[in-house]
Amino acid sequence: MEKFEKLKNLVLSSEEDFAKFYDKNNKAAGTRARRAMQDIKVLAQDIRKEIQDLKNAEE
């Protein structure tokens, strides 16, 4: 559950950069947003693997 909380915090913390990029066309904010999306992707994949491992351990 700790990783899920970290994922939620990462999404919420990147909201400002997305707004700056889409609303104000701030290219640096776009770079930060893309970096955040990569971090989100990696963390989501870790969570998926953890869930699968726990599910398989029960069987």
- Provide the whole-model pTM: 0.82
The number of C-alpha atoms within 13 Å of 58 and in the hemisphere containing its C-beta is: 5
| pLDDT reported for residue 1 | 85
Domain extent at residue 35: 2-58
Tokens of residue 12, six digits: 């919420």
| pLDDT reported for residue 20 | 96
| pLDDT reported for residue 9 | 95
| pLDDT reported for residue 54 | 93
Our count of domains for the chain comes to 1
- Residue ranges in the chain modelled with pLDDT below 70: 59
Tokens of residue 38, six digits: 């990569």
